[in-house]
């Protein structure tokens, strides 16, 4: 019997009591506690080497308009009337790109990769033959297409999901059609 779980039960009920589990249950299982998981989301694309003055606070800066108007957060609702203020009008392409990177940083998401048509075609061709390319193939593709291996792997994952989805859908449609057909026959008889 582990009486220690009662602590857990308490936590369930919203009691943030100090987690004191009975020693017995932890006995012999004393682990090196990394109490601050620190959960680094792993964002290698936010390269720390890019600038020598690689200050962390650099990315916490909230972009704003030159005139002090705060930058429209993409998640927010569009501002109907202020169309004339669209930030595109204020920044060059490269400036927008860097702003975007900053946004991506504090939102913690890798900038969306835009595959070229050629890259997609090659990937599709490989997919047709083998939709589970091993690491060797992926690395090979990465070199040949000038992409990171991770992009390749993700691409295949998403591609498989897409295939499955389409399969599901067609199956559903078939089932529906059959259902309707049967129904019709019954009515006719």
Residues at the interface with DNA (CB under 7 A): 32, 34, 36, 41-43, 74-75, 100-105, 107-115, 120, 132, 134-135, 151, 153-162, 164
Residue 113 interacts with, from DNA, a copy of itself, none (CB under 5-8 Å by kind): DNA
Closer Cβ to DNA, 6 or 98, answer by number: 98
Asked if 42 and 34 count as a contact pair (C-beta separation under 8 A), the reply is no
Asked if 110 and 154 count as a contact pair (C-beta separation under 8 A), the reply is no
- Structure tokens belonging to residue 56: 């962390």
Residue 94 interacts with, from a copy of itself, DNA, none (CB under 5-8 Å by kind): a copy of itself
**185 binds a copy of itself per the rule CB under 8 A:** no
- When binding is defined by CB under 8 A, the residue of 15, 49, 185, 189 that contacts a copy of itself is 49
Residue 8 interacts with, from a copy of itself, DNA, none (CB under 5-8 Å by kind): a copy of itself
Residue 61 interacts with, from DNA, a copy of itself, none (CB under 5-8 Å by kind): none
The whole-angstrom separation of Cα 21 and Cα 5 is 8
- State phi, psi for 70 to the nearest 5 degrees: -70, 150
Phi-psi region of 108 (alpha: psi -120 to 50; beta: other; left: phi over 0): left
Closer Cβ to a copy of itself, 113 or 176, answer by number: 176
Of 70, 74, 53, nearest in space to 62 by CA: 70
């Amino acid at each position: 019997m582990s009486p220690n779980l009662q602590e857990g039960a308490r936590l369930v009920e919203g009691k943030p009591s100090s987690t004191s589990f009975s020693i017995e249950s932890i006995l012999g299982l004393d682990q090196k506690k990394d109490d601050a998981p620190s959960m680094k989301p792993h964002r290698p694309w936010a390269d720390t080497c890019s600038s020598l003055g690689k200050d962390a606070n650099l990315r916490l800066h909230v972009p704003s308009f030159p005139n002090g108007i705060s930058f429209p957060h993409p998640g927010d609702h569009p501002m109907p009337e202020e169309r004339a203020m669209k930030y595109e009008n204020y920044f060059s392409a490269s400036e927008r790109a860097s702003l975007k990177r900053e946004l991506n940083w504090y939102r913690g998401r890798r900038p969306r990769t835009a595959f070229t048509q050629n890259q997609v075609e090659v990937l599709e061709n490989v997919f047709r033959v083998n939709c589970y390319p091993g690491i060797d193939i992926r690395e090979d593709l990465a070199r040949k297409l000038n992409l990171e291996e991770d992009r390749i792997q993700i691409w295949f994952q998403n591609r498989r999901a897409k295939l499955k989805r389409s399969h599901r859908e067609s199956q559903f449609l078939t089932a529906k059609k059959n259902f309707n057909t049967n129904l019709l026959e019954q009515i006719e008889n």
